[in-house]
Chain A
């Protein structure tokens, strides 16, 4: 194909460990995902020239040095590594790290991996007394958990755009139907609207079944230069054509985890778009495609209501039109632009450093036509989007 940019890389292997609450050491999940990705790529571990690890902060030191942890677990081969932490966006940062190494010519083929073992219940800050750490202080002074922020966004959506509790529940129902078709999903069960609406409120107006759980899981990608892929016999590889890891511009006027306040807009003019709008926009610009070109999207449904925000943030519709898109079935499997055909976080729960990588795995299977009963027919262009607390954007565009 002509017109391809020189900033593209190939994805030649993908692998995942099923999501769940397995309670085993996170490295086991990562190694399983790596082995599957290597098999998928028809490569040996010794062929890998760089490892980009996505960190977990819930498993001690080995989690902070994920690149080295996985390189050691696979057997030291002397290759360079990187380890990235960017909260929910850690996986995208790892992809970006591998991409930069490949595009700079430092290596031809690299491995991206993230895995996590998570504790039960609300994600809580690390122990200790830290009077200057906003993530510690929000729990102490406000009792503000992650669902607190999701609840604020959801209530705002109801007031501003007329979203209803049924709309939020409908998102969960849609994603649970897709998740029931995905062997890697933690919850392979279809929920009805009544079941979702009967689950207890956690952060008004959001209910237990609408807030993403925390899960164990692992995901891995083998990525390479386009030349390497062709030499390796992959004549027309699936390509990553855009990776966005943007941060907000001052003033960031939407309240964001773990902050106590927004930036003030009283002094200087804002950027004109919200941070969440800017995340996918940067990926579109790199890839030279737009929302109309998308065949599917994997968006970060930390809450069912948040999925509706993302429809607008990635340009599937104008502000205030997400509920119509949902109600019309456009974003359901078989609809005009399926969103979260994997089942999304609603069906997976979040394994923080693995999640952005898992989003890309799903796109690759979809673009290869290997997604089985949840296949989006003719999928050629897909986008992932997510946001990590402390101002981390994450979006990846994958094309065939």
Chain B
């Protein structure tokens, strides 16, 4: 039986697998976005009385910088492969929101496949599993001309 797909954290992203989006909040008076969603009050000084509305953030952005985890991170990171498979981490700049958001890069993409300035797209992917559930998180992957080819998919580095 297929495992239930549940978010690894509640309320940070939508669960539509086709076109997922990060969920943030927006200070309605200043127009400032918050991710992770800020629910207490606007963090813009002087806008404490402004309402916070839930918004879907841009699904694509440009790569501001990137790195990788060449060694297994410590707990509470959950290892899913034995031996550990290095993965990339991307910092992606969203134009509309004027902010940079971190995320893992999907498996199969190495640092040699990445370049500052390239267009990146948000996807959902399994972070780890237990007996009942697959815990899902947002990740970044190159989009447009740099989109994954089947060849790259079948050739994880």
Contact = CB atoms under 8 A, between A and B. Distances in A.
A262 B76 CA distance: 23
B9 interface: yes
Contacts of B15: none
Given A204-B67, A266-B98, A139 B91 contact: no
A255 B27 contact: no
Interface in A239-287: 250-251, 253, 255, 259-268
Nearest to A249: B45
A39 to B, nearest CB: 40
B26 to A, nearest CB: 8
Contacts of A265: 98-99
Contact of B70 (A121, A137, A159, A200): A200
Interface string B82-114: 000001010100001111111110000001000
Interface in B40-69: 43-45, 64-69
Contacts of B66: 152, 155, 204
A390 interface: no
A178 to B, nearest CB: 27
A137 B9 contact: yes
A164 to B, nearest CB: 15
A213 to B, nearest CB: 14
Nearest to B76: A140
Contacts of A141: 8-9, 127, 137
Contact of B9 (A131, A206, A261): A131
B102 A142 contact: yes
A261 B67 contact: no
By size class, the interface of chain A is 35 or more
A45 interface: no
Contacts of A129: 76
B75 A268 contact: no
Contacts of A263: 32, 43, 99
Given A156-B65, A268-B30, A144 B99 contact: no
A159 B77 contact: no
Given A131-B9, A255-B100, A261-B99, A139 B27 contact: no
Given A121-B74, A122-B74, A203-B68, A267 B102 contact: no
Contacts of A79: none
A251 B32 contact: yes
B65 A143 contact: no
B102 A140 contact: no
Contacts of A142: 89, 102-104
Interface in A35-87: none
A153 B65 CA distance: 7
Contacts of B9: 131, 137, 141
Contacts of A262: 99-100
Give chain A's interface secondary structure class: loop
B78 interface: yes
A247 to B, nearest CB: 12
B76 A151 contact: no
A156 B64 contact: yes
A134 B9 CA distance: 12
A143 B137 CA distance: 12
Nearest to B34: A264
Interface in A125-162: 125, 127, 129, 131, 134, 136-145, 147-148, 151-156, 159
A198 interface: no
A124 interface: yes
A152 B89 CA distance: 9
A260 B33 contact: no
A203 B69 contact: yes
A234 interface: no
Given A129-B76, A140-B78, A141-B9, A266 B97 contact: yes
Given A121-B74, A152-B65, A143 B89 contact: yes
Contacts of A121: 74
A137 B76 CA distance: 8
Most buried by B among A138, A140, A159: A140
A201 interface: yes
Given A122-B73, A140-B78, A142-B103, 15 more contacts: A124-B75, A142-B104, A145-B69, A153-B65, A155-B116, A156-B116, A159-B116, A206-B67, A250-B45, A255-B100, A262-B100, A263-B32, A264-B35, A266-B98, A267-B30
Top 4 A-B pairs, shortest CB-CB distance? A151-B67, A267-B32, A267-B30, A124-B74
Interface of A: 121-122, 124-125, 127, 129, 131, 134, 136-145, 147-148, 151-156, 159, 200-206, 250-251, 253, 255, 259-268
Interface of B: 8-10, 27, 30-36, 43-45, 64-71, 73-78, 87, 89, 91, 96-104, 111, 116-117, 127, 137
25 contacts: A136-B76, A138-B102, A139-B76, A142-B103, A143-B87, A143-B104, A151-B68, A152-B67, A156-B116, A201-B70, A202-B70, A202-B71, A203-B70, A204-B67, A250-B43, A255-B100, A259-B102, A260-B101, A261-B101, A262-B100, A264-B33, A266-B31, A266-B98, A267-B33, A268-B30
